[in-house]
Amino acid sequence: MQLKKKHVGIGTVNISDTARKNVLKVLASNRLSPGKYTEKLEINLASLHDRKFAIFCNSGTSALHVALGVLKEKFNWRDGDEVIVPAVTFVATSNVVIHNNLKPVFVDVESDFYGINPDLIESRISTRTRAIMPVHLFGQSADMKPIMKMAKKYNLKVLEDSAEAMFVKYNGKPVGSSGDIACFSTYATHLITTGVGGFSMTNDPELAVMMKSYFNHGRDRIYLTIDDDDSVSPKKLFEIIPRRFSFVHIGHSFRLTEIEAALGLAQLDVWEKIISHRQANAQYLTKGLAKYSYYIQTPKIRKNSEHGFMLYPILIINQKIDREKLINFLEQNGVETRYLMPLINQPVYKKMFGDIENNYPVAKAINRNGFIVGCHQDLTESDLDYVIDKFSKFFKKYA
């Protein structure tokens, strides 16, 4: 009988007893549209990230899409205005810029932390630049202090893509608490998961209302949930009834249900354990792989910053090592991998912007030599030893 091959994945999902009970309560209530679970989840996540408002939606990508849309509308940006984005990030970051008829302007990233390089931003600012979109990759904040300083100098908005980072701090502040808007993801492989889902967070009440409207087809703010006409005075009800089907923005259907909120709310009971286990697993991997520092660069943590380790990024730094051979060896042995967020070398981007990779040397090196493995909370010490052993066997054979 053939033995089942060991599998070490990059992500995990935990459906706890609390989550199951929450979902059953939602089903028993006969209500799937956003309600008390959604409201409680939004309030708690906003508080954890030092924000006044959080709005739940169907993905981190939708959150980014709408955030840019409301900034464009509120501040009268024009089609073709520019948004600065890092040259290494998940493709959704810059896709939403294009979907809003804006132009992504790429900036190379740091060679150690992989965030947008603040020292290179100013040279990419033009008279049409309207915003900076720093991305908090793999669970660690971008270097926000100089970014915010640059934004203030040039009167630019800051939209934080925090899809891969939650709960951790940068210079004592929660990740995602610096910009005008921050967007998070609760997709299946992320730090907490609702299957699909995302959040937009802000301290600006006007932006919060606009984003909620955009998520709900662009509805009039007077009726954004089915509870908005409950327990109101006859005078107020008379005002609401004709505006239930009043649409004031070109919006989207980006809503979620109480079921996803019920799943997410249960995970807020254990988020500290999730992060601490990921951090411990990452530390274990780093220690175990330290003997191969001649070949690979393991994750570095920014000074005065925390890392949530949604993923564990690795960069090959020795030309003797062929990335494709290494990741294929790992995959053949059940260790799941992904490339390290390639963007500017993707076929559709080469078609749109040309072969620009040589203009971004750090991104180019990452595109050719970077990859990720998992360090999620469900990996055991045995799993991590297995991963380390596979690296060891590869380097003994090929290095």
**Alpha carbons within 13 A on the beta-carbon side of 377:** 17
Backbone φ and ψ for 381, nearest 5 degrees, come out as -60, -35
Confidence (pLDDT) at 238: 84
The string of DSSP codes covering 134-193 is -B-GGGB---HHHHHHHHHHHT-EEEEE-TT--S-EETTEETT-SSSEEEEE--TTSSS-
**Does residue 365 sit in the same domain as residue 394?**
yes
pLDDT (tens digit, 9 = 90+) per residue, 162-208? Answer: 999 999 999 999 999 999 999 999 998 899 999 999 999 999 999 99
* CA distance linking residue 22 with residue 258, whole number of Å: 9
Residue 375's alpha-carbon distances to 9, 333, 360, in angstroms, are 9, 17, 29
**Does residue 51 sit in the same domain as residue 169?**
yes
Of 206, 232, 267, the domain-final residue = 267
* CA distance linking residue 227 with residue 315, whole number of Å: 51
228 φψ region: left (φ > 0), alpha (ψ -120 to 50), beta (else)? alpha
Confidence (pLDDT) at 2: 52
Tokens of 391: 């690296």
| pLDDT tops 60 at residue 396 | yes
The answer to whether residue 7 is domain-embedded is no
Confidence (pLDDT) at 330: 98
Confidence (pLDDT) at 3: 55
Do the Cβ atoms of 150 and 169 come closer than 8 Å? no
The answer to whether residue 391 is domain-embedded is yes
**Does residue 228 sit in the same domain as residue 337?**
no
**Does residue 131 sit in the same domain as residue 161?**
yes
Do the Cβ atoms of 138 and 164 come closer than 8 Å? yes
The answer to whether residue 88 is domain-embedded is yes
Q: Of 73, 95, 222, 237, which is closest to residue 163 (Cα–Cα)?
A: 95
Confidence (pLDDT) at 1: 47
| pLDDT tops 50 at residue 69 | yes
Residue type, 30: N
Do the Cβ atoms of 138 and 310 come closer than 8 Å? yes
**Does residue 257 sit in the same domain as residue 212?**
yes
**Does residue 324 sit in the same domain as residue 221?**
no
- The three-point CA angle 12-188-60 to 5° equals 140
Confidence (pLDDT) at 189: 86
The answer to whether residue 1 is domain-embedded is no
Residue 60's domain comprises 17-267
pLDDT (tens digit, 9 = 90+) per residue, 244-278? Answer: 999 999 999 999 999 999 999 999 999 999 999 99
With pLDDT > 70 as the criterion, what percentage of the chain qualifies? 99
